[in-house]
Amino acid sequence: MTQALPKLLTFNEFIEWYPNDGKRYELHKGVIIEMPPPTGTHEKVIAFLSRKLTVEFDRLNLPYGIPKTALVKTPSAESAYSPDVLLLNLDNLDNEPLFQKQSTVSLAASVPIVIEVVSTNWRDDYYNKFRDYEEMGIPEYWIADYAALGARKFIGNPKQPTIFVCELVDGEYQMTAFQGNTAISSPTFPQLNLTAQQIFNAAN
């Protein structure tokens, strides 16, 4: 007896289904994923990163903003992610067909930086979202692994808290790791005054 495969949802079906229950959901290749409630330390790291980026784009008077909730729809896979920190280029939102009604972006020009703060489902950040944000052409992707949850091949043995800045070069992400008091180098914000340790300290 063969078991029927579960029906995969399109993005539009996902948006129509999305309940107003206070929970966060993502669509991973047509499958609905309920996001686990964030821990307090996870939220503190998000708040710290959001503040640092906001101060910088405000200082430079750039037309950027960080929404409370918004989705990033990937180009080929039926996936929609809710990043921990999503920096939007507000000037490009008029070109986004889904933003006005569905708070969803699908164009790389709308997303200068996207950040995922790593939690127990670390493979999503290091593999699936890495691949999909790269394919979408988002110029800068941070993986903030403050609790050293990722694989040893990424963060060393013994594992060390690490911030990865992935810069899009010729269509591929080049990953640079930052640990300890190393100053983080951001292509979008070259004058950003921030170390990996400051981010880790925000979790305490």
The predicted-structure confidence for 63-111, as pLDDT tens digits, reads as follows: 999 999 899 999 877 899 999 999 999 999 999 999 999 999 999 999 9
Residue 99 contacts residue 105 (beta carbons within 8 Å): yes
Give the full edge-to-edge strand order of the sheet including 104-105: 31-34, 25-28, 80-81, 71-73, 104-105
Q: What are phi and psi of 154, to 5 degrees?
A: -95, -45
Residue 9 contacts residue 17 (beta carbons within 8 Å): yes
Confidence band for 7, pLDDT divided at 50, 70 and 90: confident
The CA distance from 70 to 99, in Å, is 9
pLDDT at res. 69: 87
The CA distance from 19 to 103, in Å, is 15
pLDDT at res. 78: 87
pLDDT at res. 77: 73
pLDDT at res. 170: 97
What value does the mean pLDDT of the chain take?
A: 94
Task: Give the C-alpha distances (Å, rounded to integers) separating 95 from 10, 86, 99, 111.
Answer: 22, 17, 9, 12
Which residue in this structure is represented by tokens 């200082």? 59
Percent of the chain surpassing pLDDT 70 = 97
Q: Which two tokens stand for residue 78?
A: 């039926």
- Cis peptide preceding 158, ω within 30 of 0: yes
Residue 45 contacts residue 52 (beta carbons within 8 Å): no
pLDDT at res. 4: 57
pLDDT at res. 5: 58
pLDDT at res. 110: 98
Per-residue burial over 92-112, b if 16 or more Cβ lie within 10 Å, else e, is bbeebebbeebebbbbbebbb
Give Cβ neighbours of residue 144 (< 8 Å, ≥ 6 apart).
45, 49, 84, 115, 116, 117, 118, 163, 199
Residue 88 contacts residue 105 (beta carbons within 8 Å): yes
pLDDT at res. 200: 96
